Amino acid sequence: MNETERYTNRNFEDIKHIDENGVEFWYARELQLALNYKEWRKFENVISKAKKSCKNSDVSVFEHFVNVDKTIKMPKGATKNIRDYKLTRYACYLIAQNGDSRKKVIALAQTYFAIQTRKQEISEKEYTLLTEDEKRFYQRNLTRKGNYSLNQVAKNAGVKNFDKFHNAGYKGLYKEHYQQGQLLVCAPLL
């Protein structure tokens, strides 16, 4: 399994927790491992930058980055308190935006949390109030951002021929139709 396959959107869903009130959150220490940061002190620098972004946006830092102290066991029966955070989806989004952009997993996290945060912002009711053109534009914009992120990851992985890369993806998606020799006609996108 290659690095890109290991860090799929599923990884971020797998470490999501739901509290007793049905509110979703992530633990920073688990997110640290999912984002491939080996040292907490380096990851805590990213968290600090994300907190500054949150504060500069006039959003309550304390609502999105909740301090949680955990006790861990040490050798010989000793214990130690360590710092952790309960993070909202928005906090995770800010962390991804402030992460090390050279890491492929950061690009995946940026896309995942951006899309999921936006989905949370637009409720189903609001979405249904959009015109068909607005819905198509909204979906096209999400696709554009996802394709950009995919291209960045592919480029970092060494892909040189993007035509073949994307064609292989379409063939995988529409395998049955290609095997039957059917021509697919898609509606034009905005």
Q: What is the pLDDT of residues 37-73, one digit of tens each?
A: 999 999 999 999 999 999 999 999 999 999 998 888 8
Composition of the chain by helix, strand, coil, percent to 5: 60, 15, 25
Average pLDDT, the chain: 80
Take residue 177 and report the two structure tokens written for it.
């139709």
Q: Comparing 156 with 56, which gets the higher pLDDT?
A: 56
95, pLDDT greater than 70: yes
Radius of gyration in angstroms for the set of CA atoms belonging to the chain, rounded to a whole number? 20
How many other CB atoms are found less than 10 A from the CB of residue 50?
A: 25
pLDDT at 5: 41
pLDDT at 13: 83
- pTM equals 0.58
> pLDDT digits over 129-145, tens only?
878 888 888 778 777 77
187, pLDDT greater than 60: no
Residue ranges in 35-103 assigned as alpha helix (H): 40-56, 61-64, 89-97
In sequence order, which residues have a C-beta less than 8 Å from that of residue 104 and are 6 or more positions away? 3, 4, 7, 153, 156, 157
